[in-house]
């Protein structure tokens, strides 16, 4: 599995899954959440409202993930996850790690091969970007090594099917933090 970090706009990524740093309501917000909702079009909000009416009447809990179609995005799917909010006292690193691993598990269930993540909780939720980068990269690597087939040929397919994890980052400082974490 290849892991990379790029500077860019997550809404334009040609991947199977983009991960949305959502709030628990799933009804849109600012930052990455607002950008994904705007780019995906009104179908995304309708799908999120349907989830709230059926499976998630109390909202999506921190560290969990759920999928909707990608609608007008290049990605086929949006996997929504709610990161912990440092400012609200949500400082459990395990909950942040869970955002990445739960999203990967949902992507596997969708038969995805490629997935793009933002820097979950590093924006308005106030987590230190270097810590988010370290935890995100560590979570993806640990998840991959725990589910990959033990085969000598590195070109062999992985048991989970994920071939590419791309961290799509909005600014140079965030890209630098993820680049350092990947080194």
Active site amino acids: 33
Both ends of the chain: CA-CA distance in Å? 16
The tokens 């062999």 sit on which residue? 156
Q: How far is CA 90 from CA 22, 26, 96, 144, in A?
A: 15, 18, 9, 26
Sign of the CA dihedral 114, 112, 121, 98? negative
Q: What is the CA radius of gyration of the chain?
A: 15
Torsion of CA 62, 139, 166, 131, to 10 degrees: 80
Q: Strand 164-169 relative to strand 2-7: parallel, antiparallel, unpaired?
A: parallel
Nearest to 132 by CA among 183, 73, 91, 72: 91
């Amino acid at each position: 599995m290849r892991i990379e970090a790029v500077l860019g706009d997550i809404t334009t990524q040609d991947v199977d899954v983009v991960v949305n740093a959502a709030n628990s309501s799933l009804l849109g917000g600012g930052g990455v959440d607002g950008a994904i909702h705007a780019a995906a079009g009104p179908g995304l909000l309708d799908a999120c409202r349907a989830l709230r009416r059926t499976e998630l009447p109390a909202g999506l809990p921190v560290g969990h993930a759920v999928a909707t179609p990608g609608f007008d995005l290049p990605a086929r799917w949006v996997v929504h996850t709610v990161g912990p909010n440092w400012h609200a006292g949500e400082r459990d690193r395990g909950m942040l790690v869970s955002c990445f691993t739960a999203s990967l598990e949902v992507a596997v269930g969708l038969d995805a091969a490629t997935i793009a993540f933002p820097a979950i909780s590093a924006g308005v939720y106030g987590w230190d970007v270097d810590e988010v980068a370290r935890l995100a990269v560590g979570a993806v690597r640990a998840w991959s090594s725990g589910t990959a087939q033990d085969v000598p040929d590195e070109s062999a397919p992985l048991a989970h099917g994920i071939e590419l994890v791309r961290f799509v980052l909005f600014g140079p400082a965030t890209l630098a933090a993820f680049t350092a974490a990947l080194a």
